[in-house]
């Protein structure tokens, strides 16, 4: 019997190589080639001919301005935080891909959402390939979903799933997970690049033609990226990532891609005995629980999509050895090294012989550069051993020349901080409001050294704020010089 011919397919780009290589010749990714059985050319031709017959027909050409376009209708899931990430709710015919670490709560949240949709009159279907129907029923009872009418189907064969979707025409269907689904038309194992790509394509086509909203659950790799080819994320309309530590009760759901809403929107959930519950005030979980300020702590206002949130930045500076360490959690470590160089060059604060550790509290990941100023102030506070005053916030991007650049939507950030009781703010000059904010003293700076001078010498910063005031950088410099 002739041995089956094998090929090697890249997990990242889907490129094919006749032999194993350490680096993919198509996308230059390392260690991504996986062995699979080659399919005969005739089989490939037959497999695709039936699938694409409908696409072979000639379509009419329409001018873009003549197309009657209306806003898509959304169906709320019954969970406000999930609706926020989705852009307002589930869209008919939309395909959502949600990924996260094992045990973080993907199946729990989707089962709760399906139950809420079913109680609102929607026809729902839960297709499980990793559990039996009895296991799903036990989980629903643990979550307190008594007498739930959600339809459950334990199946992993694509053709049977598509037949069920066509027969029952559900409004919302969940496939848990896409890595367990396989097609009889392919000889490769479930979870392989070819199977994931083919099954996702057929499910996406079924969603677009029938109007059923489909949610695909995806596995993640050791690095935290969605498993399977990158084309999987291009096929779907929305990509959501579950973030957070499994040892913590809080979970974050972040939108990486959304054709029907804003990207980088975030939803915050708390894991309870009855499943995931939305957190209405997420700033509370990212702030310190200390009754008094401690050295090395500075609060910043970050933007997650359309929501301003207060996050505590903690820094620890300690004497290091001949090779001092720079470690950051939740922040870019390369940017930390750059900020330390700016701090030394333009503010005269040297950390070249010190270990520097920076952490964003609560497991949140901050990617925007508006955290730069808060990171520098936290490092300086830890190095001096003196805490920043109570009710102090800072935000702003720092450039290599030592300038403090504005952050987007600075007015909303300041109003959110004032609403939560913060009384002193150091912000970029371009973000200074035209009118003073009640209960808050705002120091507007355009250089890093000015921010350091304000923190070290300003009596308003050291003593807190009384009436609302607004100081510019020049006023701050004269105030510091008069104090000295």
Q: What is the pLDDT of residue 346?
A: 93
Structure pTM? 0.75
Residue 40 pLDDT class (50, 70, 90 cuts): low
* Arithmetic mean of pLDDT over the chain: 85
Q: What is the rounded CA–CA span in Å between residue 348 and residue 345?
A: 6
Q: What is the pLDDT of residue 289?
A: 67
Neighbours of 462 (CB within 10 A): 15
Helices (H), 52-105: 80-86
Residue 457 pLDDT class (50, 70, 90 cuts): low
Best CA proximity match to 458, nearest among 437, 439, 447, 473: 473
| Per-residue pLDDT tens digits for 217-273 | 999 887 778 887 788 899 999 999 988 776 778 888 989 999 988 887 889 899 998
Flag whether pLDDT at 51 surpasses 70.
no
Place of tokens 């041995």: 3
Q: What is the DSSP string of 342-408?
A: HHHHHH----TTEEEEEEEGGG----SGGGHHHHHHHHHHHHHT-PPPTTEEE--EE-TTSBEE--T
Flag whether pLDDT at 303 surpasses 60.
yes
Q: What is the pLDDT of residue 478?
A: 40
Best CA proximity match to 120, nearest among 56, 186, 75: 75
Flag whether pLDDT at 70 surpasses 90.
no
| Per-residue pLDDT tens digits for 322-345 | 888 999 998 998 999 999 999 999
Residue 2 pLDDT class (50, 70, 90 cuts): low
Answer with the residue of higher pLDDT: 394 or 46.
394
CB–CB of 440/449 below 8 Å?
no
Phi, psi of 96 (to 5 degrees): -115, 130
Answer with the residue of higher pLDDT: 466 or 205.
205
The number of C-alpha atoms within 13 Å of 362 and in the hemisphere containing its C-beta is 23
Q: What is the rounded CA–CA span in Å between residue 425 and residue 432?
A: 10
């Amino acid at each position: 019997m002739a041995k089956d011919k094998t090929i090697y397919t890249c997990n990242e780009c889907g490129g094919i190589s006749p032999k194993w290589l350490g680096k993919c010749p198509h996308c230059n990714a390392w260690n991504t080639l996986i062995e699979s059985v080659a399919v005969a050319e005739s089989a490939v031709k037959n497999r695709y001919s039936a699938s694409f017959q409908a696409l072979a027909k000639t379509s009419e050409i329409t001018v873009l301005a003549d197309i009657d376009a209306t806003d898509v209708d959304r169906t709320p899931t019954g969970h406000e935080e999930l609706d926020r990430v989705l852009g307002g709710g589930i869209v008919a015919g939309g395909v959502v891909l949600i990924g996260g670490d094992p045990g973080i709560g993907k199946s729990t949240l989707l089962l709760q959402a399906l139950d809420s949709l079913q109680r609102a009159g929607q026809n729902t279907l839960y297709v499980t390939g990793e559990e039996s129907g009895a296991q799903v029923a036990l989980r629903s009872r643990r979550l307190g979903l008594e007498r739930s009418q959600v339809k459950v189907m334990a199946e992993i064969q694509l053709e049977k799933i598509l037949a069920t979707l066509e027969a029952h025409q559900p409004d919302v269907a969940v496939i848990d997970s896409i890595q367990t689904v396989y097609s009889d038309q392919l000889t490769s194992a479930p979870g392989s690049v070819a199977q994931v790509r083919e099954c996702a394509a057929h499910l996406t086509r079924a969603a677009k033609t029938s109007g059923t909203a489909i949610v695909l659950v995806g596995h993640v790799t050791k690095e935290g990226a969605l498993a399977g080819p990158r084309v999987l994320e291009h096929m779907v309309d929305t990509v959501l990532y579950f973030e957070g530590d499994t040892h913590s009760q809080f979970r974050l759901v972040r939108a990486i891609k959304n054709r029907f809403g804003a990207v980088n929107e975030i939803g915050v959930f708390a894991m309870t005995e009855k499943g995931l519950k939305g957190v209405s005030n997420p700033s509370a979980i990212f702030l310190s629980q200390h009754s008094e300020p401690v050295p090395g702590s500075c609060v910043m206002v970050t933007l997650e999509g359309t929501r301003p949130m207060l996050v505590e930045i903690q820094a620890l500076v300690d004497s290091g050895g001949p090779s001092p360490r720079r470690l950051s959690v939740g922040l870019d470590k390369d940017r930390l090294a750059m900020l330390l160089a700016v701090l030394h060059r333009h503010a005269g604060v040297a950390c070249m012989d010190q270990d520097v550790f920076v952490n964003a509290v609560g497991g949140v990941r901050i990617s925007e550069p508006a955290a730069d100023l808060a990171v520098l102030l936290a490092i300086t506070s830890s190095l001096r051993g003196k805490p920043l005053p109570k009710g102090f916030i800072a935000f702003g991007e720092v450039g290599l020349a030592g300038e403090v650049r504005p952050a987007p939507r600075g007015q909303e950030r300041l109003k959110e901080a004032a609403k939560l009781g913060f009384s002193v703010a150091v912000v970029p000059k371009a973000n200074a409001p035209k009118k003073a904010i009640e209960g808050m003293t705002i120091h507007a700076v355009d250089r890093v050294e000015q921010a350091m001078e304000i923190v070290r010498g300003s009596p308003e910063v050291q003593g807190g704020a009384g009436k609302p005031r607004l100081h510019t950088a020049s006023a701050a410099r004269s105030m510091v010089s008069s104090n000295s």
